[in-house]
Amino acid sequence: MQRLLKSPTRLTAARTSKIRHPAHDQNRRTPATMLAYNSALEELELTWFRRSQEQSIKLLKIFEESKAVWSKSSEEKQAKLRKEFNDQIKAFSKQWATLHKDFGAEQKQFEVKADQLALQNRDLLKAALEERSERMKLEGNYNVRGALERIVYLAKLEKKVPPTVGVQEGLDKLAQSNEFTAILHKEVSARRLSVTDVMASVSHLYDEVCNRTNGNHDIGSLIIVKTKFNDNERAALVIFLKVQDNWKKPLEWMEEHIM
């Protein structure tokens, strides 16, 4: 019994002597161990820094390569676009040259035809005026009245007045033309008349002529008889006959002067 009953204190002490605190192990590291640990840490940091630099260099290289590829691709696209644009310009220029050439040929043919038609129209106009003059004589209208009718008739053929106007309306429209106005001022100045009075006589000139003229003139020229018309009416008749002097196949005429 005495052998079994040992002091609890001894048992506890025995067990307690086997327990070690971690701090005791750290305190027990030698300088050699710490040096090795620091060297390993430095090596790890150096390795990480080296790998980081390598990765940065690789990324920069990839970026530069990508930039070069993009730049080359962009230049190729621009070159392709420039080529397509230049090709389109060349094709357009070729088409324009062909069109211009064809148009020039057609225009030349048109001008030839226009000249031919002008000659034909001139001959037709000449024939029409000659026929008109002969009919004036046959109808006993080869006089100042017939002359005014013929002037308006020719003005219609030359498209100087609308084709549907009557004789007096045609005279009114001709009186607004530049060729009439130019001669008007000369005649008014030479005869010492008023532009307003002469133009007023134009507005009813055809009616006055119809009332005072009949039969053919005995000579080949038309005569403006002084005793049948007043100064303003004679001036208006002279202006119209001078206007037709500049047209095709003009009538011969004269103004009577009585001293």
Res. 207 pLDDT band, cuts 50 70 90:
very high
Which of the two residues, 50 and 72, has the higher pLDDT score? 50
Give the predicted TM-score (pTM) of the model.
0.55
**CA–CA separation, 69 vs 63, rounded Å?**
10
Q: Cβ atoms within 10 A of the Cβ of 180, count? A: 19
- Mean pLDDT for the stretch of residues 24-38: 63
- Mean pLDDT for the stretch of residues 119-132: 77
Residue 160 pLDDT = 94
- Mean pLDDT for the stretch of residues 80-92: 80
Quickly list H helices, 17-30.
22-27
Res. 76 pLDDT band, cuts 50 70 90:
confident
Q: Cβ atoms within 10 A of the Cβ of 9, count? A: 8
Which of the two residues, 127 and 69, has the higher pLDDT score? 127
Residue 183 pLDDT = 97
Pair of tokens at residue 248: 């095709």
- Looking from the CA of 59 toward its CB, the CA atoms found within 13 Å total 6
Structural domain spans, the chain: 141-255
Lowest mean pLDDT among 66-80, 133-147, 192-206: 66-80
Which of the two residues, 240 and 139, has the higher pLDDT score? 240
